Amino acid sequence: MIAVLGLIAGVVLGILLEPSLPPFVEPYLPIMIVAAIDALFGGCRAYLEGTFTDKVFVVSFVSNTIIAAGIVWLGDQIGVGSQLSTGVIVVLGIRIFTNAASIRRSLFHA
């Protein structure tokens, strides 16, 4: 219940305050969002399997987003940012669909 209230408060604050991102963060935001979605699906999967731990979830959420953004930043520095972005998206996409399939099997026993 606390998580839902926190989500609602965050959405309301975001609408009221209209935050903006610094320009240097904007290229990495889509990658960070996909990494965060991967962590969320992993957390849902762990919850359904009975192995969820809040510390592990928070660490994986933060580290996934930082590592994904770091890989893309490194690619930008050496001139292959778009290729590394594509690679990160593909890898995280595979993980998201794998976790989604596991969640589906857990929920529907199929």
Residues whose CB is less than 8 angstroms from the CB of residue 100 and which lie 6 or more positions away in sequence, other chains included:
41
Is residue 16 domain-resident? no
pLDDT digits (tens, 9 = 90+) for 93-109: 999 999 999 999 999 98
Residues 13-23: pLDDT tens digits?
989 998 888 89
Rounded to an integer, what distance in angstroms lies between the CA atom of residue 51 and that of residue 45?
9
Q: Write out the residue range of the structural domain in which residue 86 sits.
A: 22-108
pLDDT of the chain along its 110 residues, tens only? 787 898 899 899 989 998 888 898 888 889 999 999 999 999 999 999 999 998 999 999 999 999 999 999 999 999 887 888 899 999 999 999 999 999 999 999 87
What size, in residues, is the chain? 110
Q: Is residue 93 domain-resident?
A: yes
Count of the separate structural domains present in the chain: 1
CA distances in angstroms from 57 to 30, 51, 78, listed in the order given: 20, 11, 32
